[in-house]
Structure 1
Amino acid sequence: MKNIIFDIGNVLLDFQPETYLKQYFEPSVMGDLMMIIFSSDEWIELDMGTMMIQDAIQSLTLKHPHYHDEIIFVMETWTHMMTPLEDNVAIVRELKEKGYSLYLLSNFHKEAIKTMFERYDFFKLFDGGVISANEHLVKPDQKIYKLLLERYHLQPEESVFIDDMLANIKMAEELNIHGIYLPYQSDLRTELQKRHIL
């Protein structure tokens, strides 16, 4: 194994919008905002890179005027919930020291990923990556996996992909990339030790 490919949300950075919204809103409002924002077509468009944040805010507030201020607040501040999962970030550093090549493969908004890269130094450890919004492709579309392999000349059999969504892992495995399904708060170190990577 030579290449370790990481998803970002809930693998490297905490992404728990319900927990975040509970700090600011009562349960009924929190539930509405979860659906309105994080289950919206606009959220998918942001991941696809076919919409920018101000466009999404305009679209969502027009559709849901009774939550105008709440939508703006969440859309302008949600990246603050994305804090490093420190155990996994420590593993990234170990893998780098051991000589593995490290890559990112993530569904992420264009403006938000720029913020993350500026906010957290550990992203400099990565040798490259493919972010959905920059390519207008999202996982589990196999094209985004193939793009990563081709861009960095990776052999799938020499690569392992870590993601918290089973559908994304299944697609990787269809392309002969080894998969590690990592549900939120699972132990990545144990999974890597099982495969003799750590």
Structure 2
Amino acid sequence: MKNIIFDIGNVLLDFQPEKYLRQYFNESVMGDLMTIIFSSDEWIDLDLGHIMIQDAIQSLTLKHPHYHDEITFVLNNWTHMMVPLQKNVDLVYKLKDKGYSLYLLSNFHSEAILTMYQRYDFFKLFDGAVISADEHLVKPDERIYQKLLERYTLLPEESIFIDDMLANINAAKTLGINGIHLPYGNDLKSELEKLKII
């Protein structure tokens, strides 16, 4: 194995919107905002790079005017929930020291990924990245995995992909990429040890 490919949300950075929203809103409002924002077509369009944050704010506040201020606040500030999952980030440093090539493959908004790159130095360890908003493709579409393999001349059998969503792992496997399904909170170190990667 030569190449370790990481998803970002819930693998490298914490992404738990319910927990984040509960800091600011009661249970009822939190539930509404989870549906209105994080289950919206606009959220998918952000991942696809079809719209930017201000477009999403405009669209969602028009649809849900009674939540105008709440939607605006959440969409302008949601990246603050994305804090490093430190145990996993520590493993990134370890894998880099061992000589593995490291890559990112993630569904992520254009503005948000630039914010993450500026906020967290560990992203400099990565040799390359394929981000959904830049490609106008989202996992588990096989084409986004093919972009990564082709762009960085990676052999699938020499690569392993770590993601919290099983559908994304299964799509990688159809292309011959090895996978680690890592549900939120699971221990990445033990999974890497099982495969003798560390």
Q: How far apart are 1:135 and its partner, in Å? A: 0.6
CA RMSD of aligned residues (A): 0.2
* Counterpart-to-counterpart distance in 2, 1:188 and 1:172: 18
Q: Which amino acid aligns with 1:162?
A: I
Q: How far apart are 1:133 and its partner, in Å? A: 0.1
Give the number of aligned pairs: 198
Q: How far apart are 1:114 and its partner, in Å? A: 0.3
Q: Which amino acid aligns with 1:184?
A: Y
Q: Which residue of 2 aligns with 1:8?
A: 8
Q: Which amino acid aligns with 2:79?
A: T
* Counterpart-to-counterpart distance in 2, 1:194 and 1:173: 18
Q: Which residue of 2 aligns with 1:104?
A: 104
Q: Which amino acid aligns with 1:91?
A: L
CA deviation map 1:147-186 (0-9, x unaligned) = 0000000000000000000000000001000000000000
Q: Which residue of 1 aligns with 2:115?
A: 115
* Counterpart-to-counterpart distance in 1, 2:176 and 2:55: 38
Structure 1 regions of 5+ residues with no counterpart? none
Q: TM-score, normalised by structure 2?
A: 1.00
Identity of counterpart residues, as a percentage?
75
Q: Which residue of 2 aligns with 1:186?
A: 186
Q: Which residue of 2 aligns with 1:63?
A: 63
Q: Which amino acid aligns with 1:197?
A: I
Q: TM-score, normalised by structure 1?
A: 1.00
Q: Which residue of 1 aligns with 2:28?
A: 28
| Structure 1: 4+ residue segments shifted above 4 A | none
SS in 2 for 1:139: coil
- Match status 1:48 vs 2:48: yes
Structure 2 regions of 5+ residues with no counterpart? none
